[in-house]
Structure 1
Amino acid sequence: MVFADLKNDFVFRRIFARHPDILRGLLNDLLDRRGEQAIEDIEYLPTEQLPLVAGAKLSILDVRCRDRSGTTFVVEMQLLHVAGFINRVVYNACKAYVDQLKAGEPYTNLTDVVAISICDFVLWPDEAQDIAKLPRVPMLSRWNMTERGSGNHGLLQVQYAFLELPKLSKSPPEAAGSDLWAWLFVHAPDLTEVPADLPPGPHRAAVELANEATFTQAELDAYRKVMDEIQQAREYGAAQRAAGRAEGKAEGKAEAVLAVLAARGLTVDSDTRARIAECTDAAALARWLVRAVTAASAEEVIAPERG
């Protein structure tokens, strides 16, 4: 058996946007809804598609639904850590909250919104939290507004949950729940059969629907097309990051050249300063930095080499 990647937009849609029982199981586990708080019935709402990154075809698909109490849930699979990601999550959640109200309707008509983001990247690295002497953020984190002094959780109208898949433990989960969902999102493509110890329920149903043998040819084509788009998006993101690192290194070397000239008390006219600051050739900047230590003038630093 070959199993599709649950993080793939098409597969995510195929499973969670068409099978309310599976989506309900995912929501209850990620939000720890049990007993009277459990989500029992949901209805799907219209979804939105937005650009994932400039220059890439891949789109963000969110699955929206509403439970019997009127709470709206926005579930999103995010593969790349694009700039402003958390800002966009907050914006979309708040927009979903205010968009419920039509002109002239009372504010009492507003119901809660819960935004759930499943991320294939780390949002709050343990190392960064340790350096800042802050508590580490767990793989599954839930957020809402809390009064600082008393810790009162009175403002629950807009809530957030983030599942950071790279934080998944290397050990297989011992029980069903949010850890098992994370394990399936990460490891489903590695499976060769439905695990025998996977109990009946939403987890097992999700794996069975990811079996490529259950796909039509059109569905397989759609799945592979999205896989290609995911790869394009990853390559684009990697290229952008590499360009940013190179630009940062060049900028640092240019600043070093100017700092050495300033420390030696050499005058740097505006044209020379601009040429050094705007240079992106790392090799040239390295030569200029060596020259700056002994050159008699700033102009000598950037003068062409004699053949």
Structure 2
Amino acid sequence: MGSEGLLERYINPYTDFGFKKLFGTDMNKDLLISFLNALLHGEQSIKDITYLNTEHLGTQEIDRRAVFDVYCENEQGEKFLVEIQKGEQQFFKDRSLFYSTFPIREQAVKGKSWDYELKAIYTIGILNFTFDDKDNYYHHEVKLLDTRTKEVFYDKLTFIYLEMPKFNKSELELETMFDKWMFVLRNLSGLMERPAALQERVFERLFKAAEIAGFSKRELYEYEDSLKVFRDWYSVVKTAEKKGHVKGYEEGEKKGFKEGEKKKQQEIARNLKTMGLSPDAIIKATGLSSGEIEEI
């Protein structure tokens, strides 16, 4: 199996392998630093990051396990949890909040007195779906807010969500580094060469790292496996969505739309189990619990 069987020149960043190769390795951490700085719009300037363990267990044996795509901290000890989300989940926001509790609890000082001071937490979701079609606003920054004064109540917990399908700027419309990073993430696998608007050195590094022809034989096999899972998963989800929307509407007439939406997620999980995906991957894709998946 070789790269000649692939039509694309550059890696698909929505695959697990592609995302982690570009943003989850020490070799390419300058790419992640540039992306985070562009995302924060000058709020701070990250000079360096340290990658942290992406697999986390709760404080007790019975607690759920969490596996992050990319998890790191900057020089000040602030934590960045970066997730690529290929498809919509019924309880995506709940999952996002649940994941943020791990880097919070990890900061507890054990064995001596502690005043509960915390370092900032940033949970970043790069979404290959949209929350709704109400507008074209694709960059959401969420903090704890006082509902009366509309002022930020606590500024150390930030959720940033990027609705990638809503970003439709052309190459000629790219003005900021944030625009350029959004363009790359949205279009990378469909490009045949580096666009003229992306002449910064960091993008030269990115396109070199993303070029499939430069992969080792092992990387190529891993990428093709990851790409196959992504394509199969995408096909299953789209098919289940078509069936689920009809079923969801019918159930909505009788028992409420929420139950219909759950049936859609169960249908997706059933197909993913047939494909042989691991329970963790199915949980991540559907938002269902391990118990619910076992019963399917």
Of 6, 9, 29, the residue aligned with 1:20 is 29
**Whole-angstrom distance in 2 between the partners of 1:243 and 1:102:** 50
Amino acid at match of 1:164: E
Assess, with a 3 A threshold, how the Cα gap between structure 1 residues 77 and 209 changes in structure 2: closer, same or farther: same
Q: Is the 8 A contact 2:68 2:81 kept in 1?
A: no
**Structure 2 residue aligned with 1:117, among 111, 125, 132?**
125
Residue 238 of structure 1 aligns to a residue in which SS?
A: helix
Q: Aligned to 1:188, what secondary structure does the other structure show? A: helix
Most deviating of 185-194 and 196-205:
196-205
> Which TM-score applies when normalising by structure 1?
0.69
Identify the residue that residue 185 of structure 1 maps to in structure 2.
185
1:141/1:161 contact within 8 Å kept: yes
Structure 1 residue 195: Cα displacement: 2.3
What runs of 5+ residues in structure 2 fail to find an aligned partner? 1-7, 58-65, 256-296
2:37–2:46: 8 Å Cα contact kept in structure 1? yes
Q: Percent same amino acid among aligned pairs?
A: 25
C-alpha deviations, 1:18-72, integer Å up to 9, x for none?
22211111101112135xx21112111111399xxxxxxxx97521111111110
SS in 2 for 1:28: helix
Q: What is the distance in 1 between the residues matched to 2:33 and 2:178?
A: 13
1:184-223, Cα deviation, whole Å (9 max, x unpaired): 1121122222223422232332222111122111111111
**Match in the other structure for 1:218:** 218
Q: Which residue of 2 aligns with 1:74?
A: 81
For the pair 1:169 / 2:168, whether they are aligned, the reply is yes
CA contact (8 A) 1:42 1:65 kept: yes
Could you list the runs of 4 or more consecutive aligned residues of structure 1 that deviate by over 6 angstroms after TM superposition?
252-255
Instruction: Provide closer, same or farther for how the CA distance between residues 151 and 66 of structure 1 changes in structure 2, counting only shifts above 3 A.
Output: same
CA distance in 2, matches of 1:103, 1:45: 19
**CA gap 1:22/1:170 in 2 versus in 1, 3 angstroms:** closer
Aligned length: 236
Decide whether the 8 Å contact of 1:44 with 1:65 is kept in 2: yes
Bigger-Rg structure (1/2): 1
Counterpart in the other structure of 1:132: none
Alignment of 1:1-307 (within 5 A): 2-18=9-25, 19-34=28-43, 37-48=44-55, 61-104=68-111, 105-126=113-134, 136=135, 138-172=137-171, 173-248=173-248, 250-251=250-251
The one-letter amino acid paired with 2:38 is D
Q: CA deviation at 1:246?
A: 3.9
- Tell me the distance in 1 between the aligned counterparts of 2:146 and 2:254: 47
Partner of 1:296: none
Please list every run of 5 or more consecutive structure 1 residues that lacks an aligned counterpart in the other structure: 51-58, 127-135, 256-307
Q: Which amino acid aligns with 2:40?
A: L
Paired amino acid for 2:199: P
2-structure distance, mates of 1:190, 1:31:
27
TM-score by length of 2: 0.72
RMSD (CA atoms): 2.6
Please give the alpha-carbon distance, in whole angstroms, between the structure 2 residues aligned to 1:210 and 1:186: 14
Would you say the 8 A contact 1:143–1:161 is kept in 2? yes
Give, as a single letter, the amino acid of the residue that structure 2 aligns with 1:41. D
SS in 2 for 1:158: strand
Q: Following the alignment from structure 1 to structure 2, what is the Cα–Cα distance between the partners of residues 148 and 30?
A: 26
Whether the aligned pair in 1 keeps the contact of 2:139 and 2:160 (CA below 8 Å) is yes
Cα 1:230–1:41 change in 2 (3 A) is same
Query: Is the contact between residue 136 and residue 166 of structure 2 (CA under 8 Å) also seen in structure 1?
Result: no
CA–CA distance in structure 1, aligned partners of residues 237 and 184 of structure 2? 25
Q: CA 1:155–1:49 in 2, change beyond 3 Å: closer, same or farther?
A: closer
| Inter-partner Cα distance in structure 1 for 2:226 and 2:161 | 23
Secondary structure, counterpart of 2:69 in structure 1: strand
Give the CA deviation at 1:252. 6.8
> Equivalents in 2 of 1:249, 1:154: separation in Å?
39
Aligned mates of 1:88, 1:106 — CA distance in 2: 28
Q: 1:2 to 1:144 in 2, by over 3 A?
A: same
